[in-house]
Amino acid sequence: MDIRVEGACALAFAGFLLCGLAAAQETTGDDGKAKAAFEEGKSLYHEGKYREAGEKFREAYARKPSWKLEYNIGQCEAMAKDYGRALEAFELYLADGGDEVPADRREEVLSELRRLRDMVGDLKVKGRDGLDVEVDGAMRGRTPLPGPVPISAGLTHDVRLLSGGKAILSTRVLVRGGASTEIEAPVGGLAAPEIARAPAKPARPSKPASSEPAQAGAQAGEGGLSPTYFWVALGATAALGAGTVGLGVATDSKVSDVKKSPDDQGLRDDAKAMQAGAYALLGLTGAAAVTTVVLVLFTDFGGSGKGGEASLSIAPAPGGLVLEGRF
């Protein structure tokens, strides 16, 4: 499913939002600061500033909690495409509202929750107790967390773990819908930024998997390309060079025959064809040699490559030589 708010769903929730706003307003009482934050949140929402509106509703909730405000917060986060925080807010709305949530509203929120669960992944955090978990600048909880932190799928998120206001881990996280990824706080010091990626979901096999181990192909090592590529290029250069020399010798012999029998048109045609072939092979040999030289610059000869063993050989074949190899 595309990560966007469907038009029909957005209209429906916008209508419910207005009802929720009115109901929540009644719960603010005489608390001037909570009411001011609530009114500012309403104005920001109608201006299309959904993220800012959500923060104002959170401020109002912090000053005078009301489960009805959790719906407003969830709707703002959904419209701002922060699907993880929207999911959390809607779940709290149903949990805290309990039997007071109208039946039709409950069905609408449950439908939205089903949609959102396909659009988020889970971030699991391991570390000592008392670490604040910050995602994209927003505080999402403190360890030990009650469960994974839902975050929008398909997007890269900036995640920090803080102890006493000081970041002890700063990383970037990417997770797929319905999948999960995990980060762990270091023992001490600030960890280098990295991207934690969730493993791909296993694909359903189209046929039974073979019990034989897969053969390793030539792969790039951490320090450069596998030496296999270099040896293949070197072998090809040698084979082409040998073919060029062989064809050149044969061409010289044919030219000598033409000089002895200048009126033999067949010999002249054969000599011309062999000369053309020799020039073509010479060009290919040059290209292979250049490729070999370039590979020298990018090849890891230190043994860090993960490619399997390779063997190369040059064998005679009808009309010339052939390069044989096993990888």
Kindly write down the DSSP assignment for every residue of 70-83, as one continuous string: HHHHHHHHHHTT-H
Residue 280 clears pLDDT 90, i.e. is over it: no
Distance CA 128, CA 27 (A): 38
Q: Are residues 99 and 135 in the same domain?
A: no
Q: Are residues 310 and 286 in the same domain?
A: yes
Confidence at 243, pLDDT banded by 50, 70, 90: confident
Q: What mean pLDDT is predicted for residues 74-78?
A: 93
pLDDT at 309: 44
Q: What is the mean pLDDT of residues 215-229?
A: 52
The whole-model pTM stands at 0.48
Q: What percent of the chain has pLDDT over 70?
A: 70
In a domain, 221, yes or no: no
| Mean pLDDT within 25-49 | 81
Confidence of residue 95 (pLDDT cuts 50, 70, 90): very high
Identify the pLDDT of residue 316: 52
Per-residue pLDDT at 14 exceeds 50: no
Q: Is the pLDDT of residue 27 over 50?
A: no
Residue 266's CB is within 10 A of a number of other CB atoms, namely 9
Higher pLDDT, 145 or 267: 145
Confidence of residue 217 (pLDDT cuts 50, 70, 90): very low
The predicted structure's pLDDT at residue 244: 80
Instruction: Please report whether residue 82 resides in a domain.
Output: yes
The yes-or-no verdict on residue 299 having pLDDT over 90 is no
Please indicate, yes or no, whether residues 50 and 103 belong to a single structural domain of this protein.
Answer: yes
In a domain, 104, yes or no: yes
Helix/strand number for the chain, H first, E second: 8, 10
145 and 187 part of one domain: yes
Are residue 16 and residue 102 in the same domain, yes or no? yes
Cα-based distances in Å from 130 to 86, 133, 147, 254: 24, 9, 15, 88
**Do 105 and 145 belong to one domain?**
no
Mean pLDDT is lowest, of 21-30, 176-185, 295-304, 310-319, for: 21-30
Q: What is the mean pLDDT of residues 163-179?
A: 89
Residue 202 has pLDDT above 60, yes or no: no
Establish if 164 belongs to a structural domain: yes
Provide the pLDDT for residue 17.
Answer: 43
Nearest to 278 by CA among 320, 233, 316, 323: 320
Q: Write down the mean pLDDT value for the chain.
A: 75
**Where is the domain boundary, 60, 90, 118?**
118
- pLDDT number for residue 199: 52
pLDDT grade for 289, boundaries at 50, 70 and 90: confident
- Which CATH number does the domain housing residue 184 bear? 2.60.40
pLDDT confidence tier of residue 25, bands split at 50, 70 and 90: very low
- 3-class DSSP state of 47: coil
Last residue of a domain, one of 159, 182, 197: 197
Answer yes or no: is pLDDT of 21 > 80.
no
Q: Report yes or no on 222 lying in a domain.
A: no
| pLDDT value for 18 | 43
Same domain, 127 and 81: no
Q: Is residue 206 part of a domain?
A: no
Q: Provide the CATH number for the domain around residue 26.
A: 1.25.40.10
Task: Find the domain containing 20 and state its range.
Answer: 7-118
Phi-psi region of 97 (alpha: psi -120 to 50; beta: other; left: phi over 0): alpha
In sequence order, the 6+-apart residues with CB closer than 8 A to the CB of 212 are none
- The total number of structural domains that make up the chain: 3
Residues 246 and 317 in one domain: yes
For residues 114 and 191, membership in a common domain is answered with no
Q: Are 272 and 308 in a shared domain?
A: yes
- What pLDDT is recorded for position 74? 93
Determine, yes or no, domain membership for 271: yes
- Three-state secondary structure call for residue 63: helix
Q: How confident is the model at residue 213 (pLDDT cuts 50, 70, 90)?
A: very low
According to DSSP, the β-strands at 195-197 and 180-184 are unpaired
Residues 112-122 have a mean pLDDT of 91
Give the pair of three-digit tokens for residue 87: 């999911």
Give yes or no: residues 97 and 184 share one domain. no
- State the average pLDDT over residues 154-161: 90
pLDDT at 15: 41
- pLDDT of 50 strictly over 80: yes
* Domain assignment present for 2: no
What sign results for the dihedral spanned by CA atoms 163, 167, 171, 177?
Answer: positive
**Higher confidence at residue 255 or residue 104?**
104
Same structural domain for residues 166 and 237?
no
